[in-house]
Amino acid sequence: MVDYSKWKNIEISDDEDETHPNIDTPSLFRWRHQARVERMEEMKREAEALKRKKEESERKLNEAKAKLVNAEKAGDSNLQTIKDSVSTLEKEMTDLKMKQDEHEKKEKLAPWNVDTISQPGFAKTVINKKAPRPKDEQLTDEEREEKMKKFVKDNEKNLKHFGMLRRYDDSRKFLREHTELVSEDTANYLVIWCIRLEMEEKHDLMKHVAHQTICMQYILELAKQLDYDPRGCVDPFFSKIQIADPLYKKSFDDELEQFKERIRRRAAEKIEEAVKEAEEEERKARIGPGGLDQLEVLESLPENLRKCFETQDIQMLQDTIKEMNEDEANYHMKRCVAAGLWIPDAKKQKEGDGEHSEETEAEAENSTEAGPSAQAKP
């Protein structure tokens, strides 16, 4: 059964009982409250004083006992005096313990009041700490590139699988199972993949991967706003996007369309850069030993002289040079040599190469002795 006796001895609140009309009630309540507070403070001071005395006596008793042990070992003549001191301190400790027990009993028997009737049995504070965000150390550009390559090598299969998913639930589940994909490296890989697909004219597939890219970027942006680990933002993002809040969905769709447009522009720029690079490589391949472009020199030649090189007709070339002004012929032939269209002393060069077979030598002689090289064809 429940023991209700402890509820019998409760001191009423300082302002609960009725007073005489001629008594200043507010003042009476203040006096009552002050008297009760003073009684409680006095009890507290007594408890602290007893505690201090007990600790001091306990310290002295321990010192006296240690001194007694040393005196017994050394055969000290003051041994009896030390024993008497130990006995006195032990009696003092016993008295203090009795006083402390009586004081504790007195505190337990004191009437409860509004300040003591409810005391917490224990106190506990719980702080929900944020999951620590992975901090990437300061890396050089080379180290960052190497890190990206390793990430792609280790996760390329899963990266492509995520990029091909279509349903939000599937994407959420897959990222839960592969939390290592929730990172900037994944977003970068998907962006590069989108550009490559657009360059390959796989437009529909690019649009699909672009959608997954924006999903990843939204998760990372949400993590930045909350200052939270991106892996902990997967569920909040997909929950919010699936609720289909009009403003949030419109913002997502607008960002997706802008991203696809940026991908198209970047792909066009890269194609243009690739074409220019190919043209530059082709032009470099046409540069002759004198630094002139074969095609440019060929196109700058007079029509009759150009026809000789285009047809690689040696006799026609010799006849055409004889008919031309000497200075003009020398000017054009020097440019042809600088561009590699004409190789002077070709026969001597081939005769000095003993490693070639007779068939190869004859073929080389036919192609270079008269003038136009094998590279003369536009």
- The pLDDT score that the predictor gives to residue 366 is 40
Query: Residue holding tokens 């005769």?
Result: 351
Is 79:71 a contact under the CB 8 Å cutoff?
yes
What pLDDT does residue 264 have?
94
Of residues 134 and 71, more confidence is placed in 71
Instruction: Provide the 10 A C-beta neighbour count for residue 234.
Output: 23
Predicted confidence at residue 130, as pLDDT, reads 54
The pLDDT value given to residue 75: 74
Cβ within 8 Å of residue 315, ≥6 positions away:
none
CA distance 84 to 78: 10
Q: Report the C-alpha gap between 36 and 11 in whole angstroms.
A: 10
Query: Nearest to residue 262, comparing CAs of 193, 195, 217, 203?
Result: 195
Strand partners, 342: 372
Mean pLDDT on 139-148: 82
The answer on pLDDT for 139 being more than 80 is no
Predicted local confidence at residue 96, as pLDDT: 85
pLDDT, average across residues 298-319 = 83
Q: What is the mean pLDDT of residues 171-191?
A: 93
The answer, yes or no, to whether residue 121 has pLDDT greater than 70, is no
pLDDT at 262: 94
Structure confidence at residue 19 as a pLDDT band (50, 70, 90): low
Q: Are 338 and 271 in contact (CB under 8 A)?
A: no
pLDDT at 177: 93
For residues 339 and 290, the answer to whether their CB atoms sit within 8 Å is yes
Higher pLDDT, 305 or 366: 305
Q: In the prediction, which pLDDT does 261 show? A: 94
pLDDT digits (tens, 9 = 90+) for 160-169: 999 999 899 9
Homologous superfamily in CATH for domain 143-283? Cdc37, Hsp90 binding domain (1.20.58.610)
Rounded CA-CA distance 291/83 in Å is: 116
The model's pLDDT over 229-254, given as tens digits with 9 standing for 90+, comes to 899 999 999 988 888 778 888 889 99
Look at residue 295 and tell me whether its pLDDT is greater than 60. Answer: yes
Q: How far apart are the first and last CA of the chain?
A: 113
| Dist. CA 191–CA 160, nearest whole Å | 12
Average pLDDT, the chain: 77
- The mean per-residue pLDDT over the stretch 286-294 comes to 79
pLDDT in tens, 1-10: 555 555 555 5
Say what the alpha-carbon torsion angle 326, 328, 331, 337 is, to the nearest 10 degrees. -80
Neighbours of 370 (CB within 10 A): 18
Task: Express each pLDDT in 62-85 by its tens digit.
Answer: 888 888 888 777 777 777 888 888
| Structure confidence at residue 29 as a pLDDT band (50, 70, 90) | low
d(CA 54, CA 47): 11
By C-alpha distance, which of 286, 285, 284, 329 is closest to 308?
Answer: 329
Report which secondary-structure segment, H or E, holds 219. helix 203-226
User: What percent of the chain shows pLDDT beyond 70?
Assistant: 74
State mean pLDDT over 306-323.
83
> What pLDDT is recorded for position 254?
92
When pLDDT is averaged across residues 28-50 and rounded to a whole number, the result is 78
Q: Could you tell me what percentage of the chain is helix, strand and coil, using 3-state DSSP and rounding each to the nearest 5? A: 75, 0, 25
Q: Is pLDDT of 328 > 60?
A: yes
* CA dist 373 → 204, 263, 357 (Å): 49, 46, 19
pLDDT at residue 123, rounded to an integer: 52
**What CA–CA distance (Å, rounded) separates 300 from 318?**
19
